[in-house]
Amino acid sequence: MELIRNTYFGNGEFKLYPHQEEAIKIIDTGKSVLVSVPTASGKSLIAYYAMLRAVSGGGRAIYIAPLKALVQEKFQELKELVGGRYTVGISTGDYDAGAEIVSRYDILVCTSEKADSMMHHDPDYFTNLQVMVVDEIHNTGDPSRGPTIEMLCTAAISVNPEIQLVGLSATLKNIAEIGKWINSEIVRSDFRPVPLRKYMIFRGKVLDEDSQEVDILEHDITSVVEDTIEKGGQVLVFLNTRKRAEKFSLELANQIGRMVETGLKVPSDDGSRYSEMLSQTVGHGVAFHHAGLNSTLRSFVEDSFREGKLKVITATPTLAAGINLPARTVIIRDLTRFSDGYSSYISNMEIEQMLGRAGRPKYDKYGDSYIYCTSQGAIGKVRDFMDNGVEPVMSGLCTERNMGFNILALISTGLCRNREEIRQFFSKTLYAMQKGEEDLEAMSENIIRFLSDNDFIKMNGESFSATELGKITSSLYISPRTAKSIIDMLDMPDLTEENALYHICRTPDMVNLFASQNDMDLAYQFINSMGESMDDESDLNAAKTAMVILSWINEIPVLEIEEKFNIGYGDIEGKKSTAEWISFAASRLSVKYKREYATFFDMLSLRMREGIKQEIVAIVAIPGIGRVRARRLYDAGFRSISDISRASPSQLESLRGFSNVLAQRTIDYAGRLVRRNAAD
């Protein structure tokens, strides 16, 4: 306990919650532990204790979180906590980077994808770890990121049976099953330091958990929002679409504007339409939040809410899973989601994640959560949630994409050298525990055949090993089918930017934008203009995504792209980031199969990162000069680094966006680049 007292509380008085004491006692025995307690009940302290215990004894620890925002948050917390006594590192990208990063730090904080990519390079990095914390471990049941978490835990235990796993979750239905899978002790509690009160809103009435009327509202949700603000609280309102979140934020700002005047100004973000929309509401303490916002605007909204300047955020459910952003009151406005052509209720797990944000530790005596019900059916859904809780976590590992990706990694790293070793590995997965091994074995056999037929592995009797192609593919952290698609693309005689982007967006690793009815004509025209084929309707999604990225690298203003394709800046950021990675992979594969295309894909990757035409690539190498300032320099006649180095500060100051300090710094840096190039 002294470790906690000295490090976490600075020798101050402290008292652990019972579930914290229980978990720490287990950690002190060296056993793994799975902790399921409500949000804001001190799970982080348990994880930090396990890591500090490890590093204080000379070991190393890794903290794995599902999203970059959470990784950044935990990294900052840990740096502040250790105060320089131990080294703390962060890693969220560069999937081609090896596992040597683990040896640089006492504690590494990273995404599950980054940790998994290190396994693809060298699974022995697990042997250098004493503690592995898996935050939000219930995401093992998530269709997209779940298989990555499942493979990480399985690989860690296989490579290093002595590793201490610390699994954290606010919601686990089948905790005994998950605990057995990762061979851990279980700590479970319903304790919340800030009690949560749950209500339903139905036809202007507030009902408690027993469906008893406790209040009558004059203006439904607005009345709850106003009451919370009047009492000094903040509100999160969850809606099921971006447009509804945007519209409701404007309605609330108009209705409660008399109550709040913040003086907040939205930061400039290269002309996104969302800047103007947020400007209409933030002055009255209201903002919306969804994946269409770019990183600058998302951070602005989140930070302003944490600082108490914003009183209300209307958001899509992604906010609930993405960051630690509690409020006194949480309102779920929409219980349904439109998907696959019909409307259906969201999962109990999603409801729990959203409601769990109610109640701010150290600020609120209680948290209030409201679920808006539009029908008796909706009330039945809420009753099911209150009576039965969340759904069990179920593995989604056994799909062609997941298995191909992971079997190649197991072979290329030498973890598995034959069918029996592959069978043994997958027998330790959650999928095998829940559904048996038969499907896994059948899928594995199909994958092995595909890998062999396409030169990713070579067979030698019952044994197999990865070829050069297999090793490159695994290290690039792309699926074998994506690698095959790239290799097929390299056979094209006259590859253009348009063709390349279309084929990149058709790879299995690219999650594309949805082509609505309004996008169809443009998508067909794009495909036909290149003389390309279309296998199915999913290619229309690929075409739309390719057109968006093409617009981005041709410096079309963000606002034009948003309006033309009905998307947000955040969508551009997400899609171009994935496409950039696949383009980088194409460059690496070009070195082996068609070297003359390597530079083409390198340049394409760089242009996707910056959103620029080729003519200003050199200029954006100057710090502080992004796509907009680089274009202004070029159009003003400064068309090379040399031109900029010879400019006067007054010449650059005359350009929009250049202060005296930035102008001088830009000229000085350009001069250094010129001298460096001359020396080379």
What are the tens digits of pLDDT across the range 437-485? Answer: 999 999 999 999 999 999 999 998 889 999 999 999 999 999 999 999 9
CATH number at residue 661: 1.10.150.20
Query: Residue 52 pLDDT > 90, yes or no?
Result: yes
Band of pLDDT at residue 210, cut at 50, 70 and 90? confident
Which structure tokens are listed for 158?
């296989």
The answer to whether the beta carbons of residues 294 and 272 sit under 8 Å apart is yes
The answer to whether the beta carbons of residues 480 and 404 sit under 8 Å apart is yes
Are residue 512 and residue 629 in the same domain, yes or no? no
Band of pLDDT at residue 9, cut at 50, 70 and 90? low
Are residue 406 and residue 368 in the same domain, yes or no? no
pLDDT tens-digit readout, 329-365: 999 999 998 876 678 999 999 999 999 999 988 889 9
Kindly report the pTM of this predicted structure: 0.91
Band of pLDDT at residue 227, cut at 50, 70 and 90? very high
The reported pLDDT for the residue numbered 211 is: 86
Helix, strand, or coil here: 272?
coil
pLDDT tens-digit readout, 376-420: 999 999 999 999 999 999 999 999 999 999 999 999 999 999 999
The reported pLDDT for the residue numbered 109 is: 95
Query: Residue 422 pLDDT > 80, yes or no?
Result: yes
Band of pLDDT at residue 625, cut at 50, 70 and 90? very high
Are residue 155 and residue 50 in the same domain, yes or no? yes
Residue 345: give the domain boundaries.
196-388
pLDDT above 90: percentage of residues in the chain: 78
Can you tell me the distance from the alpha carbon of 576 to that of 561, in angstroms, rounded to the nearest whole number? Answer: 13
CATH number at residue 581: 1.10.3380.20
The reported pLDDT for the residue numbered 604 is: 97
The answer to whether the beta carbons of residues 530 and 558 sit under 8 Å apart is no
Query: Mean pLDDT in the chain?
Result: 92
| 327 secondary structure, DSSP code | B
Can you tell me the distance from the alpha carbon of 484 to that of 468, in angstroms, rounded to the nearest whole number? Answer: 14
CATH number at residue 312: 3.40.50.300
Q: Does residue 265 lie in a domain region?
A: yes
pLDDT tens-digit readout, 554-591: 999 999 999 999 999 999 999 999 999 999 999 999 99
What are the start-end ranges of the E strands in 51-102? 61-65, 88-91
The answer to whether the beta carbons of residues 549 and 555 sit under 8 Å apart is no
The reported pLDDT for the residue numbered 271 is: 67
Can you tell me the distance from the alpha carbon of 244 to that of 380, in angstroms, rounded to the nearest whole number? Answer: 24
The reported pLDDT for the residue numbered 2 is: 65
Orientation of helix 569-593 relative to helix 598-610, angle to 10°: 170
Q: Does residue 656 lie in a domain region?
A: yes
Which of 445, 473, 501 is the last residue in one of the domains? Answer: 473
The reported pLDDT for the residue numbered 261 is: 83
Q: Which helix (H) or strand (E) holds 68?
A: helix 68-82
Are residue 454 and residue 378 in the same domain, yes or no? no
Which of 611, 629, 664 is the last residue in one of the domains? Answer: 611
Are residue 121 and residue 60 in the same domain, yes or no? yes
pLDDT tens-digit readout, 584-620: 999 999 999 999 999 999 999 999 999 999 999 999 9
Are residue 366 and residue 217 in the same domain, yes or no? yes
Q: Does residue 393 lie in a domain region?
A: no
CA distances from 76 to 79, 82, 278 (A): 5, 10, 28
The reported pLDDT for the residue numbered 98 is: 57
Are residue 57 and residue 157 in the same domain, yes or no? yes
pLDDT tens-digit readout, 647-671: 999 999 999 989 999 999 999 999 9
The reported pLDDT for the residue numbered 320 is: 75
Q: Does residue 172 lie in a domain region?
A: yes
Band of pLDDT at residue 91, cut at 50, 70 and 90? confident
CATH number at residue 430: 1.10.10.10
C-beta atoms surrounding 597 within 10 Å: 21
Planar angle of CA 509, 515, 521, nearest 5 degrees: 130
The reported pLDDT for the residue numbered 6 is: 63
Q: What is the mean pLDDT of residues 145-164?
A: 96
The reported pLDDT for the residue numbered 93 is: 67
The reported pLDDT for the residue numbered 429 is: 98
Q: Does residue 34 lie in a domain region?
A: yes
Are residue 334 and residue 202 in the same domain, yes or no? yes
Q: Does residue 156 lie in a domain region?
A: yes
Are residue 261 and residue 331 in the same domain, yes or no? yes
Planar angle of CA 459, 462, 463, nearest 5 degrees: 55
Band of pLDDT at residue 102, cut at 50, 70 and 90? confident
220 vs 451: which has the higher pLDDT? 451
DSSP result, 394-406: -----SHHHHHHH
Can you tell me the distance from the alpha carbon of 426 to that of 652, in angstroms, rounded to the nearest whole number? Answer: 61
The CA-based dihedral angle spanning residues 607, 609, 610, 612, taken in that order and rounded to the nearest 10 degrees: 20
Band of pLDDT at residue 215, cut at 50, 70 and 90? confident
Which of 351, 368, 388 is the last residue in one of the domains? Answer: 388
Please, what's the largest Cα pairwise distance for the chain?
A: 80
CA distances from 586 to 483, 486, 519, 598, 613 (A): 8, 6, 28, 7, 20
Q: Does residue 435 lie in a domain region?
A: yes
The answer to whether the beta carbons of residues 424 and 154 sit under 8 Å apart is no
> What is the number of domains present in the chain?
5
Q: Does residue 581 lie in a domain region?
A: yes
Are residue 94 and residue 234 in the same domain, yes or no? no
Within 13 Å, how many C-alpha atoms sit on residue 53's CB side? 23
End-to-end alpha carbon distance in the chain: 58
Are residue 213 and residue 360 in the same domain, yes or no? yes
The reported pLDDT for the residue numbered 219 is: 82
Are residue 432 and residue 543 in the same domain, yes or no? no
What are the start-end ranges of the E strands in 398-460? 457-460
Query: Residue 27 pLDDT > 90, yes or no?
Result: yes
pLDDT tens-digit readout, 243-255: 999 999 999 999 8
Can you tell me the distance from the alpha carbon of 350 to that of 508, in angstroms, rounded to the nearest whole number? Answer: 27
DSSP result, 4-58: IIIIISTT------HHHHHHHHHHHTT-EEEEE--TTSSHHHHHHHHHHHHHHTT
Distance from chain centroid for Cα 22: 31
The answer to whether the beta carbons of residues 378 and 335 sit under 8 Å apart is yes
